[in-house]
């Protein structure tokens, strides 16, 4: 079942004293329920911009974007927010937990925008979710008392708590050491598989990209399909400096 | 409906969390709001209590709205023929269907106390007077319909009089001796309270009882002229004033001063606390404003941190309207809490017995409960201020661009 359909999507921004900047051009993409998609690309290639479009946070400048078979252009602003709340879960590189709120309160936050059972039983649902990411014993902990890996696990619980059909992770392991990153990704993969959601991950780490079943690459706003992210595929062409220097060097051969 | 409820409750939860995080700063700025609400509520509440005190006193003196007073005297000082007056009075009441009317004679009557004969102020009235002036008794009852026919006349005495008699139990039918041309033993059937400054004995008699003690001619000779009071609907008071004035002037003829006028407090309607209220309300308004500015300040100072937070909330499904409402709610919840504290303070102040005694000077027999309007006013003030203070941050919050807010 197709969840996302993009055809000829471009995104340009109007700059003040310069010609318009094209961030994405001619992007075609279909994502179905249960897909595992990884997107790599050097810094500034438009990965986050693309993810914002997929998560209904932004609109394409031209081209068609359909969510669940409906053109996104037809959504009202509030409708778009509600669809996003119900069907999309975000995971950020910087975790973006709400400071001063406990782990439990953070995981409950998306449920505050739900209705009915999800809203009224939010404490129970959020507790169960934290249990599943192995933090059932840290419900009352504040984010600044948690390690990076624990914070990202809270963030994962938060993104999954409403049972989204699409999980968007923007460099989810970027702020974690390799081992913790691998653990967190394994967890994310496991819970995503359990819920049958599509998972789109932006990453610099080939090991993490390797977890996906479909591998995409962004170059200056152009999206291309690549093979499995073995070293040669990533190293061929213009390999980003940061990839070669840091991430790849750390990957065992 | 379901969505509305979860939105409201959800906003409340978010607001509460936000307030909890900044509780020290919020609390400091709320002190001002609480004090201001307390001041406003207290002033309005005290005003209502004082108004009640004043009204009670005024009604006891001037009668309820609208009480017309009729005064008839000849220019040459000779008394108007009592029978003629009596006749005219009765027909007037009949003609205009006035049910509540009373003669009022202020006179003096010597009374025999254990320690000697003492002149006592006496107000001689007809039975309806008690209702017309809302006379309250601490013991016994106002004159009944049968009191006029008693062998021993009934008398209502004030607390001072009663104290001098040693507060006998009314059930034992205590008596007192009224001296004069025809010394009479009267039965005390009721006691009425006095203001704290009132130290003289006084009493109410029925007008017929007084007439029995001394003839109208004698009274006239003593310079005592009866007054006639009528309790009429306020809307008719002007018409009736003119009509009764005309009737009496026509019937009694020239050489007579006939004066009919309204004497109840409502005829001179002015708020004795107006200027004080205005002053306190002004100061309180200012304090309220400062408290509100404190809240706005906190909201704006924490905004930088919150822009990211709002971005995160939006990405998890919060609509723009929801963000607006939540931010607004923060400020309203905060001021409402302060408002409740302020109102509780005001209730404690206003219902304080010492303060009530000071205001009423003992003149108010039963205090009204704390006026609900005052409490509501206080809470409304707090809410309005909260809404105003929340408006600016809420407007800023909805304009946050989500993709900019979550970019690092
Ligand atoms: N609103 C905007 N106004 C101007 N330029 C923008 C805007 N949004 C994005 N850009 C530019 O578009 C390009 C792509 O941005 P984007 O954040 O998508 O990159 P990215 O691939 O996520 O990079 P990174 O790996 O560093 O996160 C960048 O050069 C960025 O400066
Ligand atoms: Mg990015």
Q: What percent of chain B has pLDDT over 90?
A: 13
Name the packing angle between helices B82-96 and B237-252 (round to 10°): 150
B221-241 core/surface letters (b: 16 or more CB in 10 A; e: else): eeebebebbbbbeeeebeebb
Question: CB distance B2–A82 less than 8 Å?
Answer: no
Mean pLDDT of B356-368: 64
ipTM of the complex: 0.87
**Rounded Cα distance, B53 and A21, in Å:** 78
**pLDDT at residue A252, rounded to an integer:** 45
B335-372 core/surface letters (b: 16 or more CB in 10 A; e: else): bbbbbbbbbbbbbebbeeeeebeebbeebbeebeebbe
**Residue A102 forms contact with B (CB below 8 Å):** no
**pLDDT at residue B23, rounded to an integer:** 84
**Which residue has a Cα nearest atom 6 of ligand 1?**
A13
Nearest CA to CA, how far is A34 from chain B (Å)?
Answer: 21
Q: CA distances (Å), B27 to each of B20, B36, B294, B392, in order?
A: 10, 14, 10, 20
**Residue B9 forms contact with A (CB below 8 Å):** yes
Q: Where are the beta strands (DSSP E) in A55-180?
A: 62-67, 70-71, 88-91, 166-170
Residues of chain A with pLDDT under 50: 231-253
**pLDDT at residue A246, rounded to an integer:** 43
Sorting pLDDT into bands at 50, 70 and 90, what band is B252? confident
Q: What share of chain A is helix, strand, coil (3-state, %, to 5)?
A: 40, 25, 35
Q: What domains can be seen in chain A, in order of their start residue?
A: 2-227 (3.40.50.300)
Q: Peptide bond preceding B219: is omega within 30 degrees of 0, i.e. cis?
A: no
10 Å Cβ neighbour count for B250?
A: 9
**Residue A119 forms contact with B (CB below 8 Å):** yes
The overall average pLDDT reported for chain B is: 83
Residue B325 has pLDDT above 60, yes or no: yes
**pLDDT at residue A198, rounded to an integer:** 94
**Rounded Cα distance, A167 and A160, in Å:** 8
Question: Which of the 8 DSSP states describes residue A22?
Answer: E
At B370, give phi and psi (nearest 5°).
-55, 125
Q: Evaluate whether B291 touches B30 at the Cβ level (below 8 Å).
A: yes
Residue in chain A lying closest to B320 (CA): A78
* Residues B109/B112/B117/B122 CA torsion (nearest 10 deg): -20
Q: Which of A94, A116, A119 sits opposite B10 (nearest CB)?
A: A119
* Ligand 1 binding pocket mutation candidate from A16, A44, A217, A240 (most atoms within 8 A of CB): A44
List of chain A residues whose C-beta atoms are within 8 Å of the C-beta of residue B3: 115
**Residue A82 forms contact with B (CB below 8 Å):** yes
**Which residue has a Cα nearest atom 29 of ligand 1?**
A44
- The DSSP H or E segment spanning B52 is helix B23-62
Tell which residue, B117, B128, B120, B115, has the closest CA to residue B210: B120
Nearest CA to CA, how far is A232 from chain B (Å)?
Answer: 31
**Rounded Cα distance, A199 and B154, in Å:** 98
B2-14 core/surface letters (b: 16 or more CB in 10 A; e: else): eeeebbeebbbbb
Alpha carbons within 13 angstroms on the beta-carbon side of residue B273 total 17
Sorting pLDDT into bands at 50, 70 and 90, what band is B96? confident
Sorting pLDDT into bands at 50, 70 and 90, what band is B367? low
Sorting pLDDT into bands at 50, 70 and 90, what band is B370? confident
Residue in chain A lying closest to B3 (CA): A115
**Which residue has a Cα nearest atom 1 of ligand 1?**
A13
**pLDDT at residue B404, rounded to an integer:** 87
pTM for the full predicted model = 0.69
Question: CB distance B317–A113 less than 8 Å?
Answer: yes
**Rounded Cα distance, A41 and A221, in Å:** 9
Closest listed ligand to the CA of B405: 1
């Amino acid at each position: 079942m197709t969840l996302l359909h993009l055809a000829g999507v471009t995104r340009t921004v109007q700059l003040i004293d310069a010609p318009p900047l094209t961030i994405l051009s001619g992007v075609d993409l279909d994502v179905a329920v249960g897909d595992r998609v990884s997107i790599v690309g050097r810094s500034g290639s438009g990965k986050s911009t693309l993810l914002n479009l997929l998560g209904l946070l932004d609109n394409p400048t031209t081209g068609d974007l359909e969510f669940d078979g409906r053109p996104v252009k037809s959504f009202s602003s509030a409708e778009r927010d509600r669809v996003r709340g119900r069907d999309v879960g975000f995971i950020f590189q910087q975790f973006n937990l709400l400071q001063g709120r406990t782990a439990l309160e953070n995981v409950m936050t998306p449920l505050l925008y739900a209705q009915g059972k999800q809203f009224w039983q939010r404490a129970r649902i959020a507790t169960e979710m934290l249990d599943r990411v192995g933090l059932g014993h840290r419900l009352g902990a504040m984010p600044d008392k948690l390690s990076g890996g624990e914070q990202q696990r809270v963030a994962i619980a938060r993104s999954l708590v409403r049972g989204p059909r699409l999980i968007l992770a923007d460099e989810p392991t970027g702020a974690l050491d390799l081992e913790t990153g691998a653990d967190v990704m394994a967890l994310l993969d496991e819970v995503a598989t359990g819920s049958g959601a599509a998972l789109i991950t932006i990453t610099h780490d080939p090991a993490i990209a390797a977890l996906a079943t479909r591998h995409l690459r962004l170059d200056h706003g152009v999206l291309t399909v690549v093979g499995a992210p073995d070293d040669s595929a990533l190293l061929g062409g213009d390999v980003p400096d940061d990839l070669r220097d840091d991430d790849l060097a750390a990957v065992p051969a | 409906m379901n969505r509305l409820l979860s939105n409201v409750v959800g906003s409340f939860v978010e607001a509460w969390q936000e307030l909890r995080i900044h509780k020290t700063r919020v609390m400091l700025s709320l002190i001002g709001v609480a004090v201001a609400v307390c001041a406003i509520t207290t002033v309005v509440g005290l005003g209502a209590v004082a108004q009640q005190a004043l009204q009670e006193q005024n009604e006891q003196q001037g009668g309820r709205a609208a009480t017309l007073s009729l005064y008839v005297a000849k220019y040459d000082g000779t008394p108007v023929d009592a029978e003629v007056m009596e006749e005219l009075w009765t027909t007037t009441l009949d003609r205009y269907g006035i049910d509540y009317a009373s003669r009022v004679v202020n006179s003096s009557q010597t009374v025999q106390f254990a320690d000697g004969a003492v002149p006592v102020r006496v107000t001689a009235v007809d039975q309806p007077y008690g209702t017309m002036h809302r006379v309250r008794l601490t013991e016994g009852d106002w004159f009944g319909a049968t009191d006029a026919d008693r062998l021993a006349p009934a008398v209502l005495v004030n607390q001072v009089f009663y104290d001098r008699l040693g507060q006998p139990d009314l059930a034992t039918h205590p008596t007192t001796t009224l001296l004069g041309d025809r010394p009479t033993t009267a039965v005390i059937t009721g006691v009425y309270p006095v203001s704290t400054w009132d130290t003289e004995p006084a009493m109410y008699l029925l007008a017929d009882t007084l007439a029995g003690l001394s003839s109208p001619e004698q009274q006239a000779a003593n310079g005592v002229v009866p007054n006639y009071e009528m309790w009429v609907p306020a809307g008719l008071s002007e018409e009736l004033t003119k009509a009764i004035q005309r009737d009496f002037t026509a019937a009694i003829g020239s050489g007579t001063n006939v004066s009919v006028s309204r004497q109840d407090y409502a005829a001179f309607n002015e708020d004795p606390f107006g200027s004080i209220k205005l002053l306190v309300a002004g100061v309180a308004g200012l304090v309220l404003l400062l408290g509100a500015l404190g809240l706005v300040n906190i909201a704006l100072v924490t905004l930088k941190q919150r822009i990211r937070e709002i971005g995160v909330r939006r990405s998890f499904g919060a609509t723009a309207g929801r963000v607006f409402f939540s931010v607004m709610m923060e400020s309203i919840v905060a001021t409402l809490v302060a408002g409740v504290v302020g109102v509780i303070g005001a209730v404690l102040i206003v219902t304080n017995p010492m303060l009530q005694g000071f205001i009423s000077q003992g003149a108010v027999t039963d205090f009204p409960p704390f006026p609900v309007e005052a409490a509501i006013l206080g809470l409304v003030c707090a809410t309005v201020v909260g809404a105003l203070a929340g408006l600016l941050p809420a407007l800023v919050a909805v304009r946050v661009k989500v993709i900019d807010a979550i970019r690092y």
